[in-house]
Amino acid sequence: MALLRLGVTPYNGLEGPILPAGDGVFQKILIANRGEIACRVIKTARRMGIKTVAVYSDADRDALHVEMADEAVHIGPAPSAQSYLVIDRIVQACRDTGAEAVHPGYGFLSERQAFAQALAAIGVAFIGPNVKAIAAMGDKIESKKLALAAKVNTVPGFVGEIKDAAHARKIAAEIGYPVMVKASAGGGGKGLRIVHKESELVQAIQSSQNEAKASFGDDRLFVEKFVTEPRHIEIQVMGDKHGNVVYLNERECSIQRRNQKVIEEAPSPFLDAATRKAMGEQAVMLAKAVNYDSAGTVEFIVDKDRNFYFLEMNTRLQVEHPVTELTTDLDLVELMIRSAAGQELPLKQKDVKLNGWAVEARVYAEDPYRGFLPSTGRLVRYRPPAEESKGGVTVRNDTGVYEGGEISVFYDPMIAKLCTHAPTRTEAIDAMANALDEFRIEGIRHNIAFLNAIMHHKRFRSGSITTAFIAEEYPDGFHGRPLDAGAKKRFASAALAAAMIRSRRAGGPPYEADDFVVTLDGEMVQAREAGIDWHPGDPLMHLDGRTIQIAPSPGGWTLQEGGMRTVAVVRTRRAAELAALMPKKAAADTSKLLLCPMPGLVVSVNVEVGQQVKGGDTLAVVEAMKMENVLIAEQDVTVKKVNARKGDSLALDDVIMEFA
């Protein structure tokens, strides 16, 4: 058997199969998912000569994965509970198309034992682990029991389902705060809350149950100790149906926000060879205990002394699998397909490579300048950096969107997974920063500036990180990376050059640089003439070997680079003198209004007219993109009017309630 080794080429372009159809694998597979992971699976299947079937909801009729697949089947309305989570509809799609196997991606039905059983009942292979392994390891409570029996280090806590809030309070009191409330069927940060004191526990339980029910159809919860100063490091395992299991090194996933991974890398900057080996061997031991076959991830919490504790096992392909592929030169999707077809693993543990360093940044449709609130709408511009390998650096972009497409309120806010690979960690980080500067998105809010700010953060670059990194380094939220002196000069020069070019193109007077005054966010900055590569209308300007994102704004330009953002106003000297005399317009006072922070659905309104509310009390809960957002009172207030009720769909800045 020829194994498709993963270099840059397999992920750039979609030209024809590398392996012939019928190479001991399936002829046609169905992908029971959407978005970037569906597109990712289709790419490998196409190269293996395997035909693909996409499924789609009403909201995804024009989605990229539908366009890429050989066939597509409609499976229901937009809400995932009525489409992507309905087993019978996926099974019927297999019958209708003759698909021999199903790849579930991640999320949705990927870890549902009932789904694998339903496929087996009609003779369709599940491209994932066997049903017993899913049952044993896919359930967070049962997997912890099994890990204890297998002598694997586990986090202190109650090994079982909590019965109610009183039971949870008792457990938390016994093991001590802080604790984690976690969904047994959870994943991707859904149904997980960190609780620091007893007064937060009831709301955490309610939100975790609601999210778990909506995302997984299972609201069982458990409680365990939250390890302080933790790192989240996971081991990728791969098994076959012949008893072979190997570990494919580790991924560092400590950069998280609200328990959702934001940046991942491989290997970890913290592990030494001995700890890597010990964690890998424990992960393999756990996998073999349930005859695990396929890709899976054993997640560990690692403390500052490199003590590691088993958290859970995800019985599926992980979102962050590309960094493992880039550092091992393996295609995990291909290995999963071959394992499901009954083929043996083509490598032993001694064959597993650790080549260079890879970083993945998750590009989300969210506004980091407004508390990371979800953003929906049309992608007016979507221009990712070129996927290429040059000078020892690889850029890869896994995505499921396209320019002109819609970011829906119904699903996860991920736009793309941008990855870079280089010989060293510093080179991979620098390559990521450059690639993020080249990534242009318009029409919705996104987190690219935030990701880039982290790439330039001294603490991140040093590798001294924990899962609390974002909370500790951005305690008041993200307000952009502060402009340094060099950036101010570059931005001012870029704005000046753009203004002069635009004036000349419009047939204006032959201005010189000294005729203009440039201000950045109201501060006058000395600009210089600079050699640039730019044409009016281009979203990117190249200046002094750097890439600056540039867009017109009233009187000037909005400029971004390296996580820094500013508004540059360029005026003639006379216009600047007159502008200084203009009165300032005061912003509207919204202090007595609770505005909806994002488009979403009202889950609950927790107060009523006339009620006196204390600062910190919950006012309402709004759900957007499968996540619940709890809106709390910033100070003591009295509720004057309530404009929304449970079940209402609200737009951004709709008034939920008014205060006296």
pLDDT digits (tens, 9 = 90+) for 604-627: 999 999 999 998 899 999 987 767
- What's the pLDDT score for residue 234? 98
Is the pLDDT score of 13 beyond 50? no
Strand (E) or helix (H) holding 579: helix 573-579
Same domain, 514 and 468: no
Domain membership of residue 218 (yes or no) is yes
How many CA atoms lie less than 13 Å away from 466 in the CB half-sphere? 15
Is the pLDDT score of 17 beyond 50? no
Distance CA 190, CA 192 (A): 6
Distance CA 561, CA 547 (A): 7
Mean pLDDT of all residues in 458-481: 96
Average pLDDT across the chain, whole number: 91
Distance CA 93, CA 328 (A): 35
Distance CA 268, CA 257 (A): 19
DSSP label at residue 411: S
- In the set 100, 234, 264, 312, the catalytic residue is 312
**Matching residue, tokens 């499924």:** 55
Distance CA 337, CA 345 (A): 11
Same domain, 603 and 621: yes
Residue 611, SS3 per DSSP: coil
Same domain, 610 and 537: no
- What's the pLDDT score for residue 493? 94
pLDDT digits (tens, 9 = 90+) for 140-171: 778 888 998 888 998 877 777 888 899 999 99
Strand (E) or helix (H) holding 649: strand 649-650
Is the pLDDT score of 418 beyond 90? yes
Domain membership of residue 134 (yes or no) is no
Same domain, 474 and 489: no
Q: Token pair of 90, please?
A: 């996926």
Domain membership of residue 348 (yes or no) is no
Domain membership of residue 79 (yes or no) is yes
Q: SS3 letters for 65-101? A: HHHHCCEEEECCCCCHHHCCCCHHHHHHHHHHHCCCE
What's the domain count of the chain?
Answer: 5
CA dihedral 32, 35, 38, 42 (to 10 degrees): 140
- What's the pLDDT score for residue 2? 40
Same domain, 24 and 108: yes
pLDDT digits (tens, 9 = 90+) for 279-308: 999 999 999 999 999 999 999 999 999 999
Q: SS3 letters for 500-549? A: HHHHHHCCCCCCCHHHEEEEECCEECCCCCCCEECCCCCCEEEECCEEEE
Of the residues 172, 194, 225, the one at which a domain ends: 225
Strand (E) or helix (H) holding 56: strand 51-56
- Is-contact 628 621, C-beta < 8 A? yes
Same domain, 459 and 492: no
For residue 612, how many other CB atoms are within 10 A of its CB? 11
One-letter amino acid for residue 621 of the chain: V
pLDDT digits (tens, 9 = 90+) for 224-243: 888 888 999 999 999 999 99
pLDDT digits (tens, 9 = 90+) for 353-397: 999 999 999 999 999 998 898 888 899 999 999 999 999 999 999
- What's the pLDDT score for residue 35? 96
Q: Token pair of 539, please?
A: 């979203």
- Which CATH number belongs to the domain containing residue 201 in this structure? 3.30.1490.20
Strand (E) or helix (H) holding 195: strand 190-195
Distance CA 249, CA 238 (A): 11
> What whole-number percentage of the chain has pLDDT above 90?
71
Burial class of residue 493 in the structure, from the number of CB atoms within 10 Å of its CB (0-12 exposed, 13-18 middle, 19+ buried): buried
Of the residues 579, 608, 642, the one at which a domain ends: 579
pTM metric for this prediction: 0.83
- Which CATH number belongs to the domain containing residue 422 in this structure? 3.30.470.20
Domain membership of residue 122 (yes or no) is yes
CA distances from residue 149 to 74, 142, 144, 612 in whole angstroms, order as listed: 44, 11, 9, 52
- Is-contact 526 587, C-beta < 8 A? no
Of the residues 557, 579, 601, the one at which a domain ends: 579
- Which CATH number belongs to the domain containing residue 108 in this structure? 3.40.50.20
Domain membership of residue 216 (yes or no) is yes
Active site annotation includes 312: yes
Same domain, 515 and 547: yes
Domain membership of residue 273 (yes or no) is no
Mean pLDDT of all residues in 313-327: 97
Per-residue confidence at 20, pLDDT binned at 50, 70, 90?
very low
CA dihedral for 9, 10, 16, 17, sign (positive or negative): positive
Mean pLDDT of all residues in 430-443: 97
Q: Token pair of 216, please?
A: 């997984």
pLDDT digits (tens, 9 = 90+) for 532-563: 889 998 999 999 889 999 999 988 999 999 99
**Matching residue, tokens 């909370």:** 471
- What's the pLDDT score for residue 23? 61
Bridge partners (DSSP) of residue 206 are: none
Same domain, 628 and 548: no
- Is-contact 394 420, C-beta < 8 A? yes
pLDDT digits (tens, 9 = 90+) for 30-40: 999 999 999 99
Same domain, 26 and 101: yes
pLDDT digits (tens, 9 = 90+) for 486-537: 999 999 999 999 998 988 888 878 778 888 999 998 899 988 878 888 999 8
Helix then strand then coil, % of the chain, to nearest 5: 30, 30, 40
Distance CA 295, CA 44 (A): 15
pLDDT digits (tens, 9 = 90+) for 245-256: 999 999 999 999
Same domain, 56 and 120: yes
The boundaries of the domain holding residue 191 are: 156-225
- What's the pLDDT score for residue 652? 85
Is the pLDDT score of 27 beyond 70? yes
Distance CA 254, CA 249 (A): 16
Mean pLDDT of all residues in 170-182: 90
Is the pLDDT score of 432 beyond 60? yes
Please confirm whether the linkage preceding 583 is cis (ω < 30° from 0).
no
- Which CATH number belongs to the domain containing residue 609 in this structure? 2.40.50.100
- Which CATH number belongs to the domain containing residue 544 in this structure? 3.30.700.30
Distance CA 259, CA 651 (A): 26
Same domain, 557 and 621: no
CA distances from residue 649 to 59, 632, 637 in whole angstroms, order as listed: 16, 19, 25
Domain membership of residue 260 (yes or no) is no
Mean pLDDT of all residues in 67-71: 98
Same domain, 162 and 209: yes
- Is-contact 65 73, C-beta < 8 A? no
- What's the pLDDT score for residue 8? 34
